[in-house]
Every structure is written in C-alpha cells, then in structure tokens.
Structure 1
Amino acid sequence: MKKISCSLIALLATATVAFATTTPIDQLTFSTNSNNEIVITGGDFNITDLNIPSQINGLDVTTIGEYAFTDPSFGNQILISITLPASVTSIGNRVFSYCSNLASITFLGDAPTVGSTIFRGVASSAKVYVLPAATGFGTTFEGLPVETFTLPPSIHAIAHHNDNLLITLNEGTSGITVEETADLTADNWITNHNPTVTNGAFQLPTTHTHRYYRFSN
C-alpha cells in the first residue's frame, strides 16, 4: 500500500519554511477577554516550534499577551520558530524578547498591532515570513527582515482506481511539482517531471511500495 505524504512545506525564493503541528492547547495558558475572544497568556517553555491555533474552544484567538513566551529575567533559549494565525490582531509588550535562538516568525494574516520591543534580544539573523497579499508589513517588521512565502498545496481528495491513487489538490495540477522518495530520513527527493494527470488528479501507481510523495508550487 502506497503511503502518501503531503508535506507542510512552502518554497521561498531564498528559504524554506516548515510549519509545525498546531501546539496543543494543554501546552498553552489563555483567558477570555470582554469581547469573548481568546488571549494567549503563556505556554510551556519547552516548546521549540510554536504554532498558535486560530481558535480555542470555538473562540477566536486574537491576542498574544505581554511576556507570554519569555521570562522577564531570563528570556527563552528554547523557542526556535513561531507561526501566528490570521486571527491574531494584537501582540503585547516583549512577547518574544530575548528568545535568543528564535530563527523564524511566520504570520498567516495581516500585520498585528504590537507592543514595545517584542523582538528585543532576538538574533538579527531571524526572519519574518508573510504571505504576498498581507498588509502592514514593510521590508522589515519590528527590526527584523521580511520575506514572502506561498502556502503549500492542499489535498482535496484521495481515491483509488485500477491500482492507482488519484490525488486531487485544491490548487489543481497546473504549476505543481510532484516529488517522491522511498526514505524520509535520507532527504533524497526525486522530481517526477511528467506525472500522469487523470481528470484533474495526479495518478500515482500503487505498484511502488513504501513510497512517499510531496507537492509544491
């Protein structure tokens, strides 16, 4: 049986952004404000890749409270990457200050309003990644350089027909690169230059065993 992997990877002009699995809510602390919205007030300081959910208990996550992911005295040397959903419109004071190993901050929406020195003590090599249509960002954001990225293709449906898997993507097939590997640990992806397309879906033979695929645009 073929294994399918649609990797959560977006290809950039100069870099690759990987999206971590959404951080479980039991690793976050939060409250509800007067607008019935969620405010993230903190979290597990052992998190390396922070991916804030857009909703908790059916309520929108709109705010990251001050000092949420840093210790005022000691900072945070564990956090490496941050992904913030489009629902977040406000970030409090020094939320990520002195996160000395922070390398990437990805915004999935427009620029939020921010408090003071949210990236103080963050390495100058860290980068902010934003979608091409996002507003409110310049060439830098709060002192860090900004780069754009595109979201990876998403699977719409998987079907099986005549010993083939038919993979339909929401983005269609035009401009999509299909790569495959037999070993996820080897980082040896081979581009399929002429993938078979049937009725708008990629046709991948199940005669290949233990094969992984990924799609990018």
Structure 2
Amino acid sequence: MKLSDNGKTLLEVTAGDIKEDGSFDIPAGVTSIGMWAFDGCSGLQSITIPQGVNSIGEAAFRGCSGLQSITIPQGITSIGAAAFYGCSGLQSIIIPVGVTSIGMATFEGCIRLQSITIPAGLTSIDGWAFQGCSGLQSVTIPEGVTSIENYAFRSCSGLQSIAIPQGVTSIGVETFLGCGGLQSLTIPQGVTSIEIRAFSGCSGLQSITIPAEVTFIGSDAFDGCSNLDSIVIASQSEAVRNSIASLLPDDLKSKVILKELADEVFKFRDAELSRLLQVPETNPLFRFFNMKSPHSSRVKGANGVEGECSKLPDELLQTINRFSGDNRYYQKAQRRIRGLPLPANADAVRDYKNKVTAIVNESMSKAKEFSQRIDEAADKGALQRAEASRTRVALSR
C-alpha cells in the first residue's frame, strides 16, 4: 500500500494488501482515493469507504472484477471517470447526495450491475457512463439532470425502463444503442434533438413518445427497431406531427400519430383484437377437443381403455385464448394491423378503425371456415368408415 506524503491520499493498493476474505481497510486520515489506486485488484471483493473521504479518483477501482459490494459514504462529492470501469462483479451501488456528475465510463462494463441509486442534485451523466451494463434493468434519472452524453447507456441490453427528466435537451449519439430490452420510452418536453443512432438496435422498442419541440432526428436514430409500432407526438397540432414525420425515414413516417389520437386508436385496436380471442375456433386446441374432428384428443383410462376426451366448453377455450402466446389468428391479425398506416388526423381515424375491424372479421371468418372444413372432413370420414365396416361385414358372411 502506498500513501501520499501527507497520508491523505491513497495512491496504490496491490494484490498483497487485500485480506484473505477479499476486503481492504482504508487507513484513518485518508480523504481521497487516488487515480488507479486499486487498478487490477481482482481479488478485492468488498470495501467500505469511511467518512471523511471526499473523492474517488479516475479509474480508482478499474478492473476490480471480483468487487461485489462497495459502500460510498455521504461526503463524497467527486467520482472520477472510469472509477469502476470493468467491475464485472458489482451488483448494486448507491451514489450519495453531493455527487453532481457521473463521469465518463464510470460504470462501463459492470455487466452484473442490476440496480443503481442516482441522487437528487446530479446534473450530468457523461459519455459511456453505463455502457455495457447488460444486467441493468431500470434507471430513474432525477430532476435536475440536464445532460445525458453520447453512448451513456449503449449496449445496456437488459434495460427495460428508464425515466428521463425534463431539463434534458438532447438525446446523444448512440445513447441507447443496443438496448434491446427497452419496450417503451417517453422523451420529455424540452428535448430538441435526437442524435444519430440514438436508439439503433433497440429491437424490443414498441412505442416512443417524442415532444413537439424536436427539430432534429439524426440518421439511423431508430435503425433496427424492428418492433417499433408507434411514434407518438406529444402535440395536438397536425403541422407539428407532419414536421416531425418529415425528419424520419420513409418506413417510419406511417407510424407517427398525435397523442390526442393515440389513446383512442390504440384502445380501439386492442378491443378489436380482444374480440378475436372470444371466438373459440381461433384457439389452436379447438380442433383437438371438437368431437367431430378426426384429430380429437384421446386419453387412456383405467385398464388401458381408450376413449375420446370430452369437448371443452367454449368459455374455457376463450379463457385459454387470453393467455395463449401462440394463437396464429391473433398474431397474424396483429401483424397486419400494425402494418396499417396510423391516422394522420381525426378525419382519418374512422377509415383506420374500419380497416382494423375488417382484418379482425376476416380472421374470425377464416377460423370458423377452417373449423367447418374439419367438421365436414370428419363427417365424410365417418361415413367412409361406416361404409367400409358394412362392406367388411357383408364379405364375412
């Protein structure tokens, strides 16, 4: 272990300084942890930073891959860039009140980091701050943060939700690139630009709300967002809607909708798809439990006696439908509906609803027609079997 001449700065800790249990005691009187102090101490598992320490230097714990827990006290006001870079075993951390910035690459590569508490008073999250934190699932950024820099959450593949506060004015370059677990996001009022590849590769993103103030959307901002279903504009103005749509590539223009229309349209769409699930014939189990079907399920009972399973009630099939992820009629109708251009204004809503209803009705009809063909085939098969049986009896006489 090496300290500064006045004993106030911890300059260097080596593997030999780490206790057998993986801990390390910071000496009394230390007020700062210097740059690279614990660099590469992979055997360090836990550490409690004592009261009186006010700063953690750049790359202080860089590469401490065995570090699982760290307690940072109140009084810390500065955490340097890359301070916990590559701490792949770190699972959670609480940043104390008083820290105003999360520096560049501070937690980059902390792949097991699942939760982080960001304090009020923070004003900026620098570039690469959480890049590659694939275990991070949810982040709440407090009011007061005005800057989220480039690449800040890039490749956080497990991130499912994030709250961005008002006051942020720009979504930086590749800020959320590769966040495949992110499903929905509301960009707050005041944001004016969404930079290049900001959400590229967010394959799970289904809906995003963009404020009316946005005047710039960079190239490939939503590239690879294969499930993006709607881009909701937080405005009542068709002119604003058209202005923002003009910033998007052609394949996304049809997914833009005003917020005042979105609630009505999506509620109607969900209700129509739900109506489809009320038709028993759309359930893939229907033909196996319809007694006329040649595919009816058979069960083996006592003494090996086989028999056909009783027909399931329609109500049960409807209930199963609501929890079924493999209903092909529902999935196909949903894909077709999502492929419809969203209405650009109130006048277009009626036409959109008519198209949705037509798709659902067509799917219901096809399910019933298929079931009817199965029944007809079963009836025909039964007649053929009966005729064959009579023929065998006649020949045996």
TM over 0.5: no
Q: TM-score, normalised by structure 1?
A: 0.45
Q: Name the one with the larger helix percent.
A: 2
Greater RCO structure (CA 8 Å; 6+ sep): 1
Q: TM-score, normalised by structure 2?
A: 0.26
Q: Name the one with the larger strand percent.
A: 1
Which of structures 1 and 2 has the bigger CA Rg?
A: 2
